[in-house]
């Protein structure tokens, strides 16, 4: 299967919802969004409940940076890291699944796994 996580939604042969989505432009998106806001404006959606500022729609051309400024991993200007492998040994990640109940037991297992050669861990939040 190629999964790195043991809890997953089964695939019942249903195509992803994006398979039937038609590409559209910003104006059409804005009109559809306005219809669903019951009189509020798209511009009114500027922060989360916690006060974190957000945009209503993030697009690749909104960043103000061109792709050559952002770079790719392992290439100049190294804004995304010095290696395409992202520090993984030979491009591989040896990830240990930690299912121990309780923070103390999970911490002990994490330290043991990392000390025994794992390069990352996957914690099960349900177990902890």
pLDDT of residue 25: 80
This prediction has a pTM of 0.37
pLDDT of residue 86: 62
Q: How many CB atoms lie within 10 A of CB 93?
A: 14
pLDDT of residue 89: 60
Tens digits of residue pLDDT in 69-127: 666 777 777 776 667 666 666 667 888 999 888 899 999 999 999 999 898 899 887 77
Could you tell me what percent of the chain has a pLDDT over 70?
Answer: 64
Of the two residues 25 and 85, the one the predictor is more confident about is: 25
Where are the strands (E) in the chain, listed by range?
A: 95-98, 120-123
pLDDT higher than threshold 50 for residue 3? no
pLDDT higher than threshold 80 for residue 61? no
Question: What is the rounded CA–CA span in Å between residue 122 and residue 117?
Answer: 14
pLDDT higher than threshold 50 for residue 2? no
3-state secondary structure of 52: coil
CA 125 to chain centre: 17
Closest CA to 33 of 41, 22, 23: 41
> What are the structure tokens assigned to 100, written together?
């121990």
Cα–Cα distances (Å) from 20 to 11, 33, 40, in that order, read 17, 19, 28
Could you tell me what percent of the chain has a pLDDT over 90?
Answer: 13
pLDDT of residue 60: 65
Q: How many CA atoms lie within 13 A of 18 on its CB side?
A: 1
At a CB cut-off of 8 Å and minimum separation 6, what does 56 contact? 33, 42, 43, 45, 46
95 - beta bridge partners? 120
């Amino acid at each position: 299967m190629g999964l790195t996580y043991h809890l997953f939604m089964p695939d019942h042969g249903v195509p992803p919802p994006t398979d039937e989505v038609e590409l559209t432009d910003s104006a059409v998106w804005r009109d559809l969004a306005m219809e669903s806001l019951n009189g509020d404006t798209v511009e009114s959606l500027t922060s989360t409940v916690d006060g974190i500022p957000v945009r209503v729609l993030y697009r690749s051309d909104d960043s103000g940076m061109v792709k050559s400024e952002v770079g790719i991993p392992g290439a100049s200007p190294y804004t995304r890291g010095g290696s395409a492998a992202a520090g993984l040994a030979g491009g591989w990640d040896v990830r240990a699944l930690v299912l121990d109940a309780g923070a103390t037991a999970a911490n002990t297992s994490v330290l043991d796994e990392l000390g025994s050669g794992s390069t990352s861990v996957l914690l099960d939040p349900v177990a902890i």
